[in-house]
Amino acid sequence: MKNLTRRASLTVALAAGSLLALSACGGGDIESSDTGGKKCDTTVNMAVNPWVGYEASAHVVGNVISDKLGCTVEYKDLKEEVSWQGFAKGTVDVVIEDWGHPELEKKYITEDKVAVDAGTQGNVGQIGWYVPPWMAKKYPDITNWKNLNKYADLFKTSESGSKGQFLDGDPSYVTNDEALVKNLDLDFKVVYAGSEAALITGFRQAEKNKKPLIGYFYAPQWFLSEVDLVRVALPKYTEGCDADPAKVECDYPSTPLKKIVAKKFYDSGSDAAEVIKAFKWTNDDQNLVAKYIAEDKMSADEAAQKWIKANPDKVDAWVK
């Protein structure tokens, strides 16, 4: 994601149910198997990018259009840029959580006209630099980037050598961190954990064992309710300060997350497309479903069904 990685090939391992296509007759157990006159006579190809929050959004929407409309939904585990390529190939209909990719929007929406911005989906994304709570308490001034170099030695690892380690997540996430380290003249080296799950494990162990760690993290993310990571203040974000990825030296912006869909699907008149256009929920909603998957070890479909049953009014607002 341009500006926000997000976050995203290391993730909490996708639950076993994540890859199963839902049958045309549903397969879930939402009480309303009656489609209410609405219909879906096509397969909806739903990209699933590698972070558990995305997985939560995808399976909630997928279960709704399967059980309420009778759609067949196919979930495809794809990284972000590959998902957009699917719009041109006809293999992806929906990216349910986009963190902002101006270069991809230019190519696939503006130039090639194979994708459409279907509006915001309610979640607000925020990427940033974080330390575990114990560090912020012991070293209060560490939460200002100007003081990081004096603490660099604390963060040295075998992978970072003579520099402090800055831990990033999945290498496929688009981040500004290497440029920030360079342009802010910080004595750190960016090291990739490899996945969302590894990043979470790193912060969890750092807090439990009082081990120094600084790294990339983001919201919405259920883990923040378990360990209240403390954000490090970077130079304030201003409009356009991140326009040149090589020169960026400012913090990440807050980003309303969007739905991007294939233009052919968007214009099809499908009731499924209308549900996706109407889909909105909150960071808290997503974090709860993500927790069911990542911490409670429910399958993605089980987690989605649990949330859907508890929130009929929200679901009814999407299926008008």
Tens of pLDDT, residue by residue over 285-320, are: 999 999 999 999 999 999 999 999 999 999 999 998
Mean pLDDT over residues 229-243, rounded? Answer: 96
Beta-strand ranges (E) seen in 39-136 are 43-48, 72-77, 94-98, 115-131
Q: Are strands 72-77 and 43-48 parallel, antiparallel or unpaired?
A: parallel
CA distances from 160 to 8, 153, 180, 234, 312 (A): 22, 10, 16, 21, 50
Mean pLDDT value across the chain: 90
Structure-model confidence comparison of residues 173 and 282, the more confident one: 282
Confidence of residue 33 (pLDDT cuts 50, 70, 90): very low
Asked if the model's pLDDT at residue 182 lies above 70, the reply is yes
Tens of pLDDT, residue by residue over 266-292, are: 999 899 999 999 999 999 999 999 999
- Predicted pLDDT of residue 149: 98
- Predicted pLDDT of residue 171: 87
The vertex-81 CA angle with 78 and 84, nearest 5°, equals 85
pTM: predicted TM-score of the whole model, two decimal places: 0.83
Q: Which domains does the chain have, with CATH numbers?
A: 16-125+255-318 (3.40.190.10), 127-253 (3.40.190.100)
Instruction: Lowest mean pLDDT of 34-43, 93-102, 171-180, name the range.
Output: 34-43
Share of the chain above pLDDT 70, in %: 88
